[in-house]
Amino acid sequence: MGATNGTTNGVYHAEDERLDSLYSFWPGTVPAPAPCPEALFSLTLKGKLDGIETLLTVRGQTPEEFQRNLASVRGLLDQPQAPRSGHAKNGQPPSPTGSFCVALGP
């Protein structure tokens, strides 16, 4: 359908050559990259990064690659803060869990 180097169906046309030179800057078609294979090892960590809640996923195709990738992201997430003692998130004292004993009497 199109012309290249000033020819159409093997016949030279000056107009084709002019059009070809006009669009010579246009990049050729580039094949799409191959899709990434599914990782054999994967771990998603939930935490905060600069105070913003985030998910961080580490992947690898081999145990060695996974361990290298995991080591490279260690320390990126903020350190978890210890909960304030004596009060739950809603400001109320935490409710007791498990069994406990109350002594009644004089």
**Any residues with CB less than 8 A from the CB of 71 and at least 6 apart, and which?**
none
Give 4's strand partners.
7
Q: What average pLDDT does this structure show over 34-52? A: 88
Alpha helices by DSSP H, 1-106: 14-22, 63-73
pLDDT digits (tens, 9 = 90+) for 44-88: 999 998 999 999 999 999 999 999 999 999 988 888 887 766 555
Prediction pTM value: 0.44
Residue 65's CB is within 10 A of a number of other CB atoms, namely 14
- What is the identity of the amino acid at 83? P
36 phi/psi in degrees, rounded to 5: -70, 135
Residue 3: HSE in the Cβ half-sphere, 13 Å Cα cutoff: 18
Per-residue confidence (pLDDT) for residue 106, from 0 to 100: 47
Q: Is the pLDDT of residue 102 over 50?
A: no
- Structural domain boundaries in the chain: 38-78
pLDDT greater at residue 23 or residue 65: 65
Average pLDDT, the chain: 76
pLDDT tier at 89 (50, 70, 90 boundaries)? low
